[in-house]
Amino acid sequence: MIRKIIALSAFTAALALGAQNIHTVVKGDNAYNISKKYGISTAELYRMNPKVQDGKISIGEVLVVGKSTGSKPAAQSAQLGKIIIQPKQTIYGLTKQYKISEADLRALNPNLDSNMKIGSEVTLPLAAISSYGGNQVIAAQNSSVETPAVAEKTVNSDANDTYMVQPKDNYYKLTRKFSLTQKELFAMNPGLEEKGLRPGETIIVQGNTSSPAPAKSATEKIETDTPAPNTYTTTSTADDYVTYTVQSGDTVFGILNKFGIGLDELLTLNPNLSSGLKAGMVLKIKKLDAGYVKKSGDALNVVIMLPFGFDTNDSKFRTLSLDFLSGAKLAIERSAASGQKLDVKIIDAGNEASFKNSLTQINSDNTDLIIGPFFKSNVLQVLDYVKTQKIPVVAPFANSDDLLKFENLILIETNQSVFADRIVKEVKDVYSDQKIYIVADDDKSNANYLKTNLEKTLKNANVVIVNSGAEIEPDKNMMTGQSAPVIAILASDRDADGDAFANRMMALSKEISGIKAFSMYYSPIFERKVDELSQVNLVYLMDRKVDSEGRFEKEILEAYKSKYCKTPPKYSIIGFDIVNDMLSRENKKGEIFKQMNKVQTQLATKFEFEKIRNGAYVNKGYRVVRLLPN
């Protein structure tokens, strides 16, 4: 009763202000979503309601939200109705029956994929239901359904040194947007690192707004959740602890499993968990052990082993090695210029047969980091050579299951199963009973892995493995006899297979709409035919891709060209990325393993290491590229 009296008093007070809109706070409301609902800024909401300046809003509280205009604020009315999903209905079938695009259908039904079950309700234009519904069962119709207006993403603050946090903001975006470091951002906003970014909250950014980087082509989108070089993201280290920034969708159970810790340990390190798990919260995970500590001197002693083959007269990998070294040297010079003390030794690893002789050049009593060699058999020999000292060894290209047991090994190449698992997830997100084709390479291991996991993940999936993109055919609708779209996946890294796959996808897109295409690998034709392949919403994965518009990337490309008078070739980029990343993780004590939880993106490579329990550090970083229709 007391709460009702308070609410009524607030309501009466609001009316006394004149003809104004009011809003009664309900569960889940905050300043940000209320301001967006009524088309005002959070600053305006605070001005009209001084009592909520501290951001605390209580359920049942009545807020002034602007002058009344006699119409519903920030909303547009549309005549909509709902239908009940019947057996065998699909998203594609609805778009054809009701003459609506898939984009419009999804806009009206944000949870469309989860709602495509028999008996579920789907929202459609009322006119379309009346014209094309036939005997379709219709749910109770709303004569006027509010559709919130799309909010602008750019928010202007009242002062040049403040900024209102948006739902998809993260520290990386803000530091780039306002030319700040994370330390500067945290220093200007005490408590921000602990509580995280909260949509609708105003933070201090010092007014150093810089012009945003040029937007990418509307038809190509690279996943933007990758961090700047040498900056922390979800997992990092601070004060000798592994720390983790909670992401949307995280659960305590999931975090315990991810890091292999107990609930009592997590609660002991994070008393603030008593108020609940919230996105943006920074958690201490566990105390770090040194793993390896350098033995003497101020300089970091680094060995780089490359198969030049000078002594063995084997030049097979010499060009590759020279390119790798050119990129590595640029990284070394940058690290030295920043004040890092380095003593770097380059060793000719010869070839696999003669490799053992090169090991004698390594002083295992005073080496802090070994980068290389390239071949698995040689990596195993190095690991055996330094096993008592546990010197960190970085394998640039070798990656196999028998290497996973070595705790001092860092594997750079991302395993193919990581790519395949992401493709399964991408397919699951758009799957609606379509037939699925997988284009295989000769050994079919990737294709078989995909098929097995798709059949486990999707209900009654019809998955077919073929040898060429030319074998992909439209499906047939059993009721109408008309062609129906399919899902196609490329599981081969051969350019010829990529060409055939892309050409078939482009041809099918002209015959039928709704085709979905995915690829575990990049193929050159994907960049040559962006516009055409965007019609099938092609999604492909890349272990490396240079963002030519990035500020850091431009700086490195210009530095390389100035030094070598050419654009860096593939293995120069790899050499720079690996050496720059590894050196950035080293501290003065050589404690590289304390820094392995940092997620970093260098010139082209994303490094996101995961430690195998009692084993190696494995890179699981990659880029996702989406081709979107204009």
Cα(351)–Cα(308) distance, integer angstroms: 8
Q: What is the mean pLDDT of the chain?
A: 78
Q: Is the pLDDT of residue 628 over 60?
A: yes
- Note the pLDDT tens digit of each residue in 197-248: 777 777 877 644 444 444 444 456 555 433 333 333 344 444 467 778 888 7
Question: In the beta sheet, which residues pair with residue 123?
Answer: 82
Question: How many helices and strands in the chain, by DSSP H and E?
Answer: 22, 28
**Three-state DSSP class for residue 1:** coil
Say which amino acid occupies 238.
A
Name which of 10-19, 89-98, 533-542 the model is least confident about.
Answer: 10-19
pLDDT given for residue 294 in this prediction: 63
Nearest partner of 629 among 542, 507, 500, 538, judged by Cα: 538
Rounded alpha-carbon distances, angstroms, from residue 126 to 134, 140, 149: 13, 11, 20
Q: Is the pLDDT of residue 492 over 90?
A: yes
Are 399 and 599 within 8 A, CB to CB?
no
Q: Check residue 529 and report its DSSP letter.
A: T
Are 411 and 617 within 8 A, CB to CB?
yes
Q: Is the pTM of this model over 0.75?
A: no
Cα(566)–Cα(560) distance, integer angstroms: 7
Mean pLDDT of 408-422: 92
- Note the pLDDT tens digit of each residue in 354-394: 888 889 889 888 899 999 999 999 999 999 999 888 899 99
Confidence of residue 54 (pLDDT cuts 50, 70, 90): low
Query: If residue 357 lies in a helix (H) or strand (E), which one and from where to where?
Result: helix 355-358
Are 570 and 576 within 8 A, CB to CB?
no
- Compute the C-alpha angle 568/571/572, nearest 5°: 40
Query: What distance lies between CA 209 and its chain's CA centroid?
Result: 25
Query: If residue 526 lies in a helix (H) or strand (E), which one and from where to where?
Result: helix 524-528
Nearest partner of 200 among 174, 164, 168, judged by Cα: 164
Cα(453)–Cα(423) distance, integer angstroms: 10
Question: In the beta sheet, which residues pair with residue 43?
Answer: none
pLDDT given for residue 86 in this prediction: 77
Are 619 and 600 within 8 A, CB to CB?
no
**Three-state DSSP class for residue 237:** strand
- Note the pLDDT tens digit of each residue in 16-26: 333 456 777 77
Rounded alpha-carbon distances, angstroms, from residue 75 to 45, 81, 365, 438, 512: 18, 17, 71, 44, 35
Are 396 and 381 within 8 A, CB to CB?
no
Nearest partner of 395 among 415, 380, 410, 377, judged by Cα: 410
Are 51 and 16 within 8 A, CB to CB?
no
pLDDT given for residue 405 in this prediction: 93
Token pair of 354 as six digits: 């003669």
Rounded alpha-carbon distances, angstroms, from residue 370 to 173, 307, 410, 470, 629: 34, 14, 10, 46, 46
pLDDT given for residue 20 in this prediction: 53
Mean pLDDT of 479-483: 77
Question: In the beta sheet, which residues pair with residue 121?
Answer: 84
Token pair of 603 as six digits: 């010139």
Confidence of residue 283 (pLDDT cuts 50, 70, 90): confident
Name which of 179-193, 345-359, 560-574 the model is least confident about.
Answer: 179-193
Nearest partner of 229 among 588, 611, 607, judged by Cα: 607
Confidence of residue 194 (pLDDT cuts 50, 70, 90): low
- Note the pLDDT tens digit of each residue in 299-319: 899 999 999 988 788 889 999
Cα(560)–Cα(436) distance, integer angstroms: 44
Q: What is the dihedral of CA 313, 314, 319, 325, to 10 degrees?
A: -80
Q: Check residue 625 and report its DSSP letter.
A: E
Q: Check residue 52 and report its DSSP letter.
A: G
Q: Is the pLDDT of residue 188 over 90?
A: no
Are 498 and 538 within 8 A, CB to CB?
no
Q: Check residue 222 and report its DSSP letter.
A: E
54 CB-near residues (< 8 Å, 6+ apart): none
- Note the pLDDT tens digit of each residue in 505-559: 999 999 998 999 999 999 999 989 999 999 999 999 988 888 877 889 999 999 9
Nearest partner of 570 among 322, 393, 378, judged by Cα: 322
Q: Burial of 115 by CB count in 10 Å (0-12 exposed, 13-18 middle, 19+ buried)?
A: middle
Confidence of residue 77 (pLDDT cuts 50, 70, 90): very low
Cα(125)–Cα(117) distance, integer angstroms: 20
